Structure 1
């Protein structure tokens, strides 16, 4: 089975000329002429990125998902390839409805009619790891039922093992292979797939995002029905709306398109900087719009990004320095975060950052791509061996998605003008007197517990200090006594020899 799969991968790779990525290495370069002569019939007029995308589509859904993930690692992948891979769409035929019903009944351990009053056997959406059916609970609630594709786990495990083998070849064949960290890239992909295979995790992500935007006029997130959820099944509210990519329908429904674009930007920055928890797969297929309230609806919560307080502080320092054109501040933030080697020359890193950022300030704001600036910073940092953090790669990828979506809605969208007031307010909250008050409020419960105990703790510490001093004094006295004893012993031996010598002289 594995050999057949490997043979198919090699066949598709040769059909689309992917040997180009390997035959450039000096160890195998002599084989290039043999391949060209043998496969002279192949039409290879398309760019390498297009050929790679088409090959991944031919290899199947797991390789499509790998290509999608690889398109986000623009710190590692050449831009022409990353841009092409970003066009990959997870188009997978649905699996038979009978298999979905069998999987549901196996999860619930009862007939499907006992669980749902109605169940539409025709799926409304299908992807590589799951598909969605509409249903209705016995209390009349309209729900969406997401069912994991049966038998998908062993298929994924098999294909991932082949990807690890390919990563090993990249490390061995290319001088830059280890720096590209191909095994880590495959490991990251494997982790994402593992998360998507556990629908309880996705349900928890959905629930958290819903709680963060409870009663928000900006974003609606479906409610999860936990009694009906399992590792292979997720049940949530059925969401009705217009796909955000159907701009014509949105206009016909009276939606204010420029306002909708600005709202999308605000939602993104609220998720990132207020909550540190953001939807990291916000392509148009995962977003609907309610025409009546002009409210966004989020779907598909398999990939979420998180930021720690340290990440937020790092971003705050970088944004403040960036807006002030303090490029040395940006370089120092990288150094102090430990993301560049300690022997990095700050002046060289500062010059690289200036080369990326300075041209931005001489252009109209609406012509600036925030995501592209971040991307160029990642590219510039490669020669300084900057360790790009995975959570920031997800952030950059999501920012590019949001910016592209916003400008698709409104070509005149000024992302900087929309985001800057929000960022400045947030940075003041993070680094100004508001941050001090906020931190004091957060620490107040700890102080309330600690303050009454302070006298006892101080007394205990003083006693321990006195005891330590007493022990140290006793140890010193003991050492001194041992020294005196050794000196006295030496003197006694010496006096014995002197006395013996005197007696011998007297009685000779």
Structure 2
């Protein structure tokens, strides 16, 4: 059998089988069942070998450490096996014991594998594109790191810190005082096999979302990624928490890698075919071992990758399979003698492995739709509890910048800002008004007081609940998806406002590489399509200097801001004008940068005043994040690097407004 052959070849070969065992969508069921045994049910070491390891780790005898110790392992993997035991202090623990000569066996395996990978790259386009030799080198180094269990203990602590705020993840506690390079002692958590979900108190779709959320957080947010996330290295609790084990293999994903992969992923998510094709070729590939210059890539490659992304989007009705796209991408790259850089190959393979498990849980699960949901949630700051949100806002303000003008008090400053917006738009009796990103509904209330018919759109559940409680007509949706919620309501408006909404359109990195421009232009196309001829749009935007995005001398400041404000977007004034020009004529641009400091100082002072109560409601991490963001915005304003513009635009004539839309994103 294939399983027996892989076991006979050695632990490195078994790892390949473990990855393949997740692909229920690609392999025959009998193969998957056979390979699944490799996850944690390999033949254990002889009792004498285990005793020798334990004797070195506990020279004073097991009885000094454990009151109970089962000689029969509960799991056996490629480099170690796990026994159930109880400490003399009473805790139930899992004792992971390194297999004898594990390092020597791995090194011998990889000597052969490297030679095979080199031969495969010479003979196979697919192997060359995948950068197979680079992957084998990295896998060798990762697996060799597993032969020192003190590394795994450190990884346990790193993961525990990273996911301390996530009640869907559980990391077993490490007992460092009784652990060593050959023996790792952790908390024993009663678990349920990843495929036995009938015993878990959550439906399959919820479990799939939790796994997908975990992977995205590891790769795109924290940069701390479990490098061997097959269903033998995690399991479920009865309540549906993911328990991560076997943390010896970890990818540390650099900030640059995260930003590049996220930009490509987001472009696919938004349906920007040409951008996604160009991006993967410019930033994620290499030619003959060197980074690719754009001039090295033939036009045919750009066209082919663009067609590939577009085909997967169309054929799947906007729900492409990441693994299917990845396989086709390798084929196209091979035709043009290009290959993925191995860091990206490993991350793509992680995503492919997890997608195989997600498919087995829920064949209808849509990873891209789940990504869209998460992007909305990140934009609405769901980490801030509603009670804390209400405490800071105190029922009258909004997080956007007020009009302090001649030193008005905060309540008056926001009322003055709303009056400025509605006066500029000409909102009055009988007019129809749409507020995109409507906050707590202040503009809607003011518009209704003027006799206008007002409608709001928000991505925030908290904002939607507040507005609905105030009797306001508000749609819970992103602007991209708002059309399907507007049925039976006015679809074309006299006036529209978008107050600092562009901050959610993309990160600083996405702005620098051009993705923000595409999203911004898509918004203006959508806005024009929903305004009557000559209708007006009022935009309030936070802007940074263009050199901050593009000048190499500003690289350090750019990196600092990317770290301090990871999900915060900024436009530039020329960018706003350029992206709107096809759809809108500029009527007025007001530089109100003087409002930035009093607004953000007000929020910072309010957070500080409410700090004792906030600490009872929100986590310390959330409070630190909010204060850091406010301090960063204040520092930018004080240095003159942040500006506030209030822009009045008039819709240009659109011959056919029904087509002036966008691909659903």
Shorter-chain TM-score range: 0.5 to 0.7
Q: Distance in 2 between matches of 1:154 and 1:296?
A: 33
Q: 1:61 to 1:416 in 2, by over 3 A?
A: same
Q: Distance in 2 between matches of 1:146 and 1:102?
A: 14
Q: TM-score, normalised by structure 2?
A: 0.51
Count of aligned pairs = 387
2:296 is aligned with 1:344? yes
Q: Distance in 2 between matches of 1:209 and 1:162?
A: 33
The structure with the largest helix share of the pair is 1
Query: Is the CA contact (8 Å cut-off) linking 2:130 and 2:340 kept in structure 1?
Result: no
Q: 1:119 to 1:185 in 2, by over 3 A?
A: same
Shift of 1:169: 5.5
Q: Deviations over 1:124-165 (max 9, x none)?
A: 111221100111112111110100011233333333333345
Query: Is the CA contact (8 Å cut-off) linking 2:284 and 2:344 kept in structure 1?
Result: no
Q: Deviations over 1:178-231 (max 9, x none)?
A: 777665454334213212212112222222112111142211111111112221
Match of 1:221 in 2: 171
2:44 is aligned with 1:94? yes
Match of 1:62 in 2: 11
Q: Distance in 2 between matches of 1:87 and 1:205?
A: 30
Q: Structure 1 residues 144-153 or 100-109, which shifts more?
A: 100-109
Q: Distance in 1 between matches of 2:226 and 2:282?
A: 28
Query: Is the CA contact (8 Å cut-off) linking 1:287 and 1:298 kept in structure 2?
Result: yes
Match of 2:218 in 1: 271
Match of 1:162 in 2: 112
What RMSD, in angstroms, separates the aligned Cα atoms of the two structures?
Answer: 3.8
Q: 1:275 to 1:246 in 2, by over 3 A?
A: same
Q: 1:189 to 1:86 in 2, by over 3 A?
A: farther
Q: 2:343 aligns with which of 386, 391, 395?
A: 391
Q: TM-score, normalised by structure 1?
A: 0.66
Match of 2:234 in 1: 287
Shift of 1:174: 7.7
SS in 2 for 1:143: strand
Q: 1:104 to 1:183 in 2, by over 3 A?
A: same
Q: Distance in 2 between matches of 1:147 and 1:324?
A: 47
Match of 1:478 in 2: none
Query: Is the CA contact (8 Å cut-off) linking 1:331 and 1:346 kept in structure 2?
Result: no
Q: Deviations over 1:379-412 (max 9, x none)?
A: 3222333342333222222222322222322222
Q: Distance in 2 between matches of 1:186 and 1:212?
A: 28
Query: Is the CA contact (8 Å cut-off) linking 2:67 and 2:87 kept in structure 1?
Result: yes
Gaps of 5+ in 2: 287-291, 380-504, 512-541, 543-560, 569-627, 639-665
2:336 is aligned with 1:370? no
SS in 1 for 2:95: strand
Query: Is the CA contact (8 Å cut-off) linking 1:375 and 1:396 kept in structure 2?
Result: no
After TM superposition, the structure 1 = structure 2 runs for residues 280-429 of structure 1, keeping only pairs within 5 Å, are 280-291=227-238, 293-337=239-283, 339-340=285-286, 341-342=292-293, 343-345=295-297, 347-364=299-316, 368-423=320-375, 425=378, 428-429=506-507
Q: Distance in 2 between matches of 1:153 and 1:206?
A: 21
Shift of 1:444: 7.8
Q: 1:56 to 1:379 in 2, by over 3 A?
A: farther
Q: Distance in 2 between matches of 1:186 and 1:436?
A: 32
Q: Deviations over 1:409-466 (max 9, x none)?
A: 2222222221223246477355477959627959989x99xx9xxxxxxxxxxxxxxx
Gaps of 5+ in 1: 1-50, 452-508
Q: 1:372 to 1:289 in 2, by over 3 A?
A: same
Q: Structure 1 residues 361-370 or 429-438, which shifts more?
A: 429-438
SS in 2 for 1:350: helix
The structure with the largest strand share of the pair is 2
Q: Distance in 2 between matches of 1:368 and 1:327?
A: 12
Query: Is the CA contact (8 Å cut-off) linking 2:134 and 2:342 kept in structure 1?
Result: no
Shift of 1:304: 2.1
Q: 1:336 to 1:364 in 2, by over 3 A?
A: closer
Match of 1:188 in 2: 138
Q: 1:443 to 1:69 in 2, by over 3 A?
A: farther
Shift of 1:68: 3.8
Q: 2:565 aligns with which of 422, 425, 438?
A: 438
Structure 1 or 2, whichever has the larger Rg, is 1
Query: Is the CA contact (8 Å cut-off) linking 2:358 and 2:365 kept in structure 1?
Result: yes
SS in 1 for 2:251: strand
Query: Is the CA contact (8 Å cut-off) linking 1:366 and 1:413 kept in structure 2?
Result: no
Match of 1:29 in 2: none
SS in 2 for 1:117: strand
Shift of 1:338: 7.2
Query: Is the CA contact (8 Å cut-off) linking 1:64 and 1:88 kept in structure 2?
Result: no
Q: 1:258 aligns with which of 178, 188, 205?
A: 205
Q: Distance in 1 between matches of 2:130 and 2:319?
A: 32
Q: Distance in 1 between matches of 2:284 and 2:210?
A: 35
Query: Is the CA contact (8 Å cut-off) linking 1:116 and 1:135 kept in structure 2?
Result: yes
SS in 2 for 1:361: helix
Query: Is the CA contact (8 Å cut-off) linking 2:93 and 2:188 kept in structure 1?
Result: yes
Q: 1:395 to 1:96 in 2, by over 3 A?
A: same
